[in-house]
Amino acid sequence: MEKGILEMVGGEIIGIVSPVSICMLLVVLLVHTLTPHGSSTSVATIAMMIYNEQPNDSFVEKFKGGLLNAIVFVCIVMLVTFVLVGLFYFRFTKCLRVYMGFSAFTVLAWMGGIVAVELIQFFSIPIDIITFAICLVNFASVGVMAVFFCRMPIVLTQGYLVVIGMLVAFWFTKLPEWTTWILLVAMAIYDIVAVLAPGGPLNMLVELAIARDEDIPALIYEARPVLPRQISGPPPMSSSPTPARTRRWSNRRAPRNPGVGRGNSGSNSALDNVWTSNGQPTSLITEPPLAPEVGIIGSRLVSSTGDAGMLNSISTVVAGHQATESNVDEDTVPLVSHGTNNSSTAAALDGMESGTGMHFQGSDQGGSESEDEGLGLGVSGAVKLGLGDFIFYSVLVGRAAMYDLMTVYACYLAIIGGLGATLILLAVWRRALPALPISISLGVVFYFLTRLILDPFVVDLATHLIVF
Amino acid sequence: MTGVGGTGYALIALGPAFSLFVTVIASKPFLILTVLGSAMMWLVSLIACAILWRAFLPGAVWTFLPLLITVVGIQEAVRLYYWCLYLKVEHFLNKLAAKVSKPQLVATDKIQIAIASGLGHGIAHSVFFCLSLLTPAFGPATYYIDSCVHMPLFLVAAFMGLGFLLLHTFSMVIAFNALAGDKHFHQLFVPVMHLCASLLTMVNLLPGGCIAGVPMTLICAVVTMAVAGKIVWDKTSTGSAELGNLQRVHSSSSL
């Protein structure tokens, strides 16, 4: 039976919505089980350096304190991201990778261990310390390998990324309430600035990565595996690429620099192509897209969204009104990132070690690049979402879970709606986009609307057994 | 009533939705997105209703009547708006299908999209009106309200959630069909049935009313299902003479 259009459209979006949903579900379950009314012991972290919220402070004090905390946090994140950009610029890639591996290990072993101990206490699971230690160390080691170094089944890598996101998000939900909400809003604003403003650190990072045609070492969730390919020479000028994958966005290096692989000149032409493609068909565009190029460009910058992928389809229809197909095949899509949480991870660790001299090196333990947030299109047609986005969405939903499950559902729908809108914008604008702002703002708005207005309304109706 | 009871109530309210989801919707990503989109739209309409009526609740019992009428009106207006959006999406999908040389949307596709939209509304309804009440049901006790001493609150809420889920799902199928074919009877049937079902729930306000209220809700749901079933039967058996379409019908009816 021939497959209709419905089977094809939307696969990539579901590929990214599912893990986000799973991560949120896990965080809600953890919060609901372990800390249903917020954490009783406050954790000293970088996010609470200035103001430690007490329950009986006044409204104004809490607001000002939360604001100060959020500003400090955002400044630290920004500094760390600039350090990351600097390291990347000076090509300390090895250093970055080791850093990220270490931070992933810390998150999995340390925070995972703490969460596991709390769960063991809650459910009274009989397990001895030696078994627990062995299991934990193994779990963390496999996690680090899965995320960075080895080839493993993609499900394992994806699973570990979701677990890392879940653990960091759970840690964040231990922050006091006002600080959490203001922090979320501040991070959303920072995300817009960092990604879209020309001087923003993430914008610079992405442009560096495009210019050098390299992969930013980072924790990014990709919905489908990246297929590695080698450049064998000048891409063939004839037609027919792999028929199954129509590349929507590819790097047009072939026409100008036939013999060049990952050269700077190649990428310059890519950048040129990006800017000339908007509305002006150039003569380059005559060649069809080529399969080998897809893998070369580095895992983030290219997408082939499959034959009738939703995002593909949106750009098709949008571009249909514009010049020619060339338009569509032309662009490279830089990946957005908004680097961050790591500093919060580091912050949490700071707190745990009671703030003794963690020098700046150590405080990057999280490595801001290791949880790069961002939204973009990956090589194999998969959408990529940075892990920080997972984390902040889950923090929002986890904090909503501390009030009631109704707020959880409302915030979940809001976040998914925002994510969908961001993906559509990604297809239309074809540039790096921050994934946080729309979702977080919708989530926060829906949370307060649900908590203040919807909850009393629905509970009143439902307890009278009136439904509509 | 502990985990078993709580899970049982949740399954009563959402079991059919879950099976519908797994059999019809889960294999097609676009339909999953439709479910999420229509759930979100229902939530927005619910928030709009809540903003409108928040100031009046908790209030006197008679306020429920104008509340229900206005709220059902708002939701039906949202359904019409959703239909307009659906037309645009259908146009977009057909254009895309032409571009990638796939067949255009056929009747079964449209029915599936209608089911997915209705399911989105229904699931959102069940989740907000029933599931969010169920958190205490996972604990050690149960709860009865004054006007209904025969059944625990959770059980009544679960049954009503089930009834309305089915009602929303299949009235969307009827509505899409009616608006596409401009059949006035069916176009009127949907809002009228919705309003009737909601007003009948007011029976629950009377002491012991839930004995009558719950079956009536379920009867409304069954009537809606029957009408939707008849429409779909008519459409698929006479609808398309082309062999290809018939094949698609038969293969998709073997879900």
Question: Considering CB atoms only, which of B32, B92, B194 is closest to A317?
Answer: B92
Structure-block tokens of residue A148: 């960075």
The length of chain B, given as a count of residues: 255
Of B128 and A2, the one with more pLDDT: B128
Compute the distance between CA of residue B56 and CA of residue A403 in angstroms, rounded to an integer: 23
DSSP A278: T
A428 shares contact with chain B (CB less than 8 Å): no
A111, with CB counted inside 10 A (0-12, 13-18, 19+), is buried
User: For residue B12, what are the CA distances in angstroms to B6, B7, B24, B198?
Assistant: 10, 9, 19, 20
Q: Which residues contact B208 (CB under 8 A, 6 or more apart)?
A: B147, B148, B149, B150
Put simply, the chain A residues between 75 and 134 with a CB less than 8 A from any chain B CB are none
Number of alpha carbons in the 13 Å side-chain half-sphere of residue B122? 31
Read off the pLDDT of each residue in B21-44 and give the average, rounded to a whole number: 92
What residues of B are in contact with residue A417 (Cβ under 8 Å)? 36-37, 40
pLDDT above 70 for B133: yes
Interchain contact A25–B (C-beta under 8 A): no
Rounded to the nearest 10 degrees, how much is the dihedral formed by the CA atoms of B139, B144, B149, B152? -40
Interface touch B128/A409, C-beta < 8 Å: yes
Of all residues in chain A, the one with the smallest CA distance to B132 is: A406
Instruction: Name the more confident of B79 and A331.
Output: B79
The DSSP letter of residue A7 is: G
Average model confidence (pLDDT) for chain B?
A: 87
Query: Region B174-187: what's the mean pLDDT?
Result: 89
- Residue B87: pLDDT above 80? yes
What pLDDT is recorded for position B77? 94
Kindly determine whether residue B102 and residue A453, on different chains, have CB atoms separated by under 8 Å. no
Q: What is the pLDDT of residue A15?
A: 87
Q: C-alpha distances in angstroms, A447 versus A160, A384, A391, B66, B194?
A: 29, 27, 17, 27, 28
Q: Is B140 on the interface with A (CB under 8 A)?
A: no
Return residues 2-41 of B near A (CB < 8 Å): 27-33, 36-37, 39-40
pLDDT at A427: 84
CA dihedral for A320, A322, A326, A330, sign (positive or negative): negative
Token reading at A68: 């100060």
Q: Lowest-pLDDT range, A102-116, A260-274, B108-122, B144-158? A: A260-274
CA distance A71 to A186: 7
Chain A residues touching residue B96 (CB < 8 angstroms): 5, 9, 308, 313, 316-317
- pLDDT reported for residue A297: 24
B144 in contact with chain A, both atoms CB, cutoff 8 A: no
Structure pTM?
Answer: 0.78
Is the CB of residue B208 less than 8 Å from the CB of residue B80? no
Of B27, B105, B244, the CB nearest to A5: B105
CB contact at 8 A, A105 and A374: no
State the smallest CA–CA distance between residue A395 and chain B in angstroms: 20
Phi/psi at B114 (5° precision): -65, -40
- Count of residues for chain A? 468
Residues of A in contact with B105 (CB under 8 A): 4-6
Please tell me the predicted confidence (pLDDT) of residue B19: 95
Helices (H), A321-435: 325-330, 341-352, 360-363, 387-401, 405-429
- Structure letter (DSSP) for residue A338: E
Tokens 């509340």 belong to B67
The pLDDT assigned to A160 comes to 92
Q: d(Cα A347, Cα B248) in Å, to the nearest integer?
A: 58
Per the annotation, the verdict on A364 as an active-site residue is no
CA of A355 vs chain B CAs: smallest distance (Å): 39
Calculate ∠ Cα B244-B247-B252, nearest 5°.
125
| Chain A nearest CA to B103, separation (Å) | 6
Q: Which of A191, A331, A350, A364 is catalytic?
A: A191
Q: Which of A228, A95, A223, A88 has its CA nearest to residue A151?
A: A228
A455 closest CA partner among B189, B58, B165, B116 = B58
Query: CB B88: neighbour CB atoms within 10 A?
Result: 9
Annotation marks residue A213 as catalytic: no
**Chain B, nearest residue to A316 by Cα:** B96
Q: What is the pLDDT of residue B98?
A: 87
Where does A107-250 have alpha helices with state H? 112-123, 129-144, 154-172, 177-196, 201-212
All residue ranges of chain A with pLDDT < 50 are 1, 226-309, 316, 318-373, 377-380
